[in-house]
Structure 1
């Protein structure tokens, strides 16, 4: 292995064909380069490579195969806890590759491997265009898309993975390919929501949409009103139009100094999301929720870039311990169970306990869809805690297990991989035939299992 045999000679060989940065464990920049966005992931790779070009990525993959190592791609590391460990892998940190090119006439964008959602949504919004980006501005576009991609336009337009026009990739043998519906269509299919196991993405081309009128934001009530508000939201979702994508959550805002004083250190029940349509239309759609008299109401006409910020996700690395489940239904009993275990009388250590409505376009198979063609569940549950103290670190896992266990009567099969915060058996997240096809694609393009994805698909035997 490289860690114990001729590391200096081997790295010197790679440096001669690499334009980016290489960090061995003894180098000053190693600890910074190995860090994931989720600070709970203590990654200790054989070394870290920070490529600047697709040729750099190909050189690392070829080098890894030659040295008997694996390559673990990472854009940001939001989902790094899902990977079992990188002790015998090269961490391929793509943070130096954040270029974005927008084709206004063609309604598309080409992004590099390390581009963040905000790198695309901000300039696209200025041009009157929108991407099917996520609810956090600093999630990596590539990783988000490989896992499916659910944003605030999802019930109307579906998952981001099915808006992809093409990928440029490096396969497990270091070959560079352009992949689309006509070139390597089986790999194009697999990468759209089927994880990044078969190839490393160097560039991705996405469809953009002409930005519709948007009305977006959040309403907040003191968490003592969680029962009233969450029951009302559940009933409202039963008839909510597909133009509306919303989430409801119990939120304990940390007392961090960079958080606005009006909410800092307080506890709320929150409904946030977006409605596609005019102000008048959106006000009509949201009227039953607004009638509950929120203490804070931030819903207003908004440009597409605002969708990346309305969920108030942290925009810098933090430690987090989370879990999720797809739900076949949310009933009045579901709400009562959540409030009992995470509401104002529970003593819960969890930062946020969330329900997000799915359905609409997310529940239909998109024309020409990839491996993640739809999500066959009307809701998804997600909960997370921030282990800011040893006491919280000890309490959060048990609270997550208890809450998810209590929701068992409503848990649907499968998983949404972008919310899967721990190693997951990917075979349980796809139908059997789909998973066998993913394994076949992996065997074709990475038969030696060089690529170490967050959620791994093993090559077919």
Structure 2
């Protein structure tokens, strides 16, 4: 297929003249690498990629896109399972060169540039014995994960990523620059906390940090046939567990590599990946009921530096894999839902998985209307992920994920975590913001009335009253 750029030459010349970074065009060195995202299923060819090296470059790129009405996408860390960080034919603002991190240990905060990955932040904060709640794969981009909400190992104790956001530097749709916080541009700050990339390009985030250095963590795996038994125990145990203990349930395949024993390599299993971030003196007593349950095939719990846990999945999921995701929030794990999990537990390919994350605790102490992230009463967040390196298996993994989701969705809370969504249509976006959607649409009309930032899980501007 011929992917010729449709961008006006005048726009490209004006932008290159205004930037210090490179403007990559098809056929130029670096273009192919710059258009790739983590999900190998995404194969889009932008007309140009603006490799921004500072905020002024971002402002110039946004102004050019606005002036010439160019299709625009924003690429942060480049994980982008949905592929919405890349557009065909249009302009991509690439933040990957904005990678600075500055820790303020006395204040317990960290300033993070918009192109950083989770690993960049962990590397900077860990020497100070600090961490910010993020996700579970260190190669994920801070920007996309944070703007969608952000859930991971520290969620039950310290909240979602957005609950720890103190301020954000934003380039708006007219190319102007503002800092949004509870004190300045508070409505924009509200929208950024869960509203995705709809409101501007975030060039820097300031997060609150917490004292986390070493954790007790690792998987406890069970036979796949125990899926129902483990889930019933898990749903009853987690709500009463200390918030310093987090664990996500999974179904998947044991990787054929250390530290897993050779006898388990390639075996279909269910299990829970645990993380205890509390006082290490009480770790044994907190984890005693976890270790006493069931008949595990493997108890992998051990003490590790927190960044080691954050990066443990990185080698399993390198860039270029073909992936298709579906997700939903759940108020409860019903018996009907457990029957669905048992039915679909045997994954179609070795890297495919289903993860069920607890999101009770600290996130539920934030009111549903306090941030754009709506599903504060949900107790669980599910991700169904079909993954394989072979593009020939794309239909197979997509079919499994969709059928699994369709069977599970009736027991859901009705909406999804946007970071676990593909490009699934406007109704799914609206459902995921619930009662906050109307306010988001009004703010979109205020900050981006022409919907320049639309290559995302889009919230169109509300029509004038």
Asked if TM exceeds 0.5, the reply is: yes
Structure 1 residue runs without a partner (length 5+): none
Q: Deviations over 1:40-94 (max 9, x none)?
A: 1112222111100000000001111122203211113333526397225311121
Shift in alpha-carbon separation, 1:435–1:88, aligned structure 2, 3 A:
farther
Q: Does 1:299 align with 2:301?
A: yes
* 8 Å CA contact retained: 1:70, 1:449: no
Asked whether the equivalents of residues 224 and 345 of structure 2 are also in contact (C-alpha less than 8 Å), the reply is: no
Label 1:4 to 1:365 Cα distance change in 2 as closer, same or farther (>3 A): closer
Q: Aligned residue for 1:419?
A: 420
1:101-132 Cα shifts (integer Å, max 9, x gaps): 11111111111110111101122111111111
Name the SS of the counterpart of 1:326 in structure 2.
strand
Q: Is the 8 A contact 2:73 2:93 kept in 1?
A: yes
- Per-residue Cα deviation, 1:354-410 (whole angstroms, up to 9, x for no partner): 222221122231699422265321112211112333553222222222212222341
2:442 is aligned with 1:456? no
Cα 1:251–1:17 change in 2 (3 A) is same
Aligned partners of 2:85, 2:143: CA distance in 1, in Å?
Answer: 20
Counterpart Cα distance in 1 of 2:204 and 2:45: 26
Structure 2 counterpart SS, 1:3: coil
Alignment of structure 1 residues 18-37 onto 2, 5 Å: 18-37=19-38
Structure 2: distance between partners of 1:301 and 1:166: 33
Q: Judging changes above 3 Å, is the alpha-carbon distance between structure 1 residues 95 and 37 closer, same or farther for their aligned structure 2 residues?
A: same
Q: Give the match for residue 329 of structure 2.
A: 326
Tell me, what secondary structure is at the counterpart of 1:404?
A: helix
Note the 1:33-48 alignment, pairs <5 A.
Answer: 33-48=34-49
CA contact (8 A) 1:222 1:269 kept: yes
Report matched runs for 1:328-343 at 5 Å: 328-343=331-346
Corresponding position of 1:272? 273
1:221 matched residue in structure 2: 222
Give the paired residue count.
455
Tell me the TM-score normalized by structure 1: 0.90
Q: Please give the secondary structure, in 2, of the residue aligned with 1:16.
A: helix
Moved more, 114-123 or 268-277: 268-277
Q: How far apart are 1:324 and its partner, in Å?
A: 1.0
Contact 2:227–2:345 (Cα < 8 Å) also in 1: no
CA displacement, residues 426-457 of structure 1 (integer Å, 9 cap, x when unaligned): 2211233x222212222222222222342111
The residue number in structure 1 matching 2:172 is 171
Distance 2:258 2:91 in 1: 35
Offset of residue 349 of structure 1: 7.7
Which one is further off, 319-328 or 289-298? Answer: 289-298
Select which of 439, 442, 445 maps to 1:443: 445
Gaps spanning 5+ residues in structure 2: where? none
Alpha carbons 1:272, 1:311 under 8 Å: kept: no
Spell out the pairing of 1:126-145 with structure 2 (5 A cutoff).
126-145=127-146
| Residue range with higher mean Cα deviation, 84-93 or 396-405 | 84-93
Deviations 1:327-351 (A, max 9, x none): 23113442232122223xx867871
- Could you tell me how far apart the structure 1 residues matched to 2:351 and 2:410 are? 21
Once residues 129 and 5 of structure 1 are traced to their aligned partners in structure 2, the CA distance between those partners, rounded to angstroms, is 45
Following superposition, the deviation at residue 252 of structure 1 comes to 1.9
TM-score w.r.t. the length of structure 2 is 0.90
Separation in 1 of the partners of 2:125 and 2:58?
Answer: 27
Higher RCO (C-alpha under 8 Å, 6+ residues apart): 1
Contact 2:374 2:432 (C-alpha < 8 Å) held by counterparts: no
Q: CA deviation at 1:150?
A: 0.6
Closer, same or farther in 2 for the Cα pair 1:453/1:158, shift >3 Å?
farther
Residues 62-77 of structure 1 aligned to structure 2 (within 5 Å): 62-77=63-78
The answer to whether the 8 Å contact 2:169/2:202 transfers is yes
- Structure 2 CA distance, aligned partners of 1:209 and 1:306? 17
- Check whether the contact 1:363–1:375 (CA below 8 A) recurs between aligned residues: yes
Give the whole-Å Cα distance in 2 for the aligned partners of 1:76 and 1:238.
33
Q: After superposition, what is the alpha-carbon deviation per residue over 1:215-265, rounded to whole angstroms, capped at 9, x for unaligned?
A: 22221234344344333323322432322221111112465x799774653
CA gap 1:261/1:213 in 2 versus in 1, 3 angstroms = closer
| Secondary structure, counterpart of 1:247 in structure 2 | strand
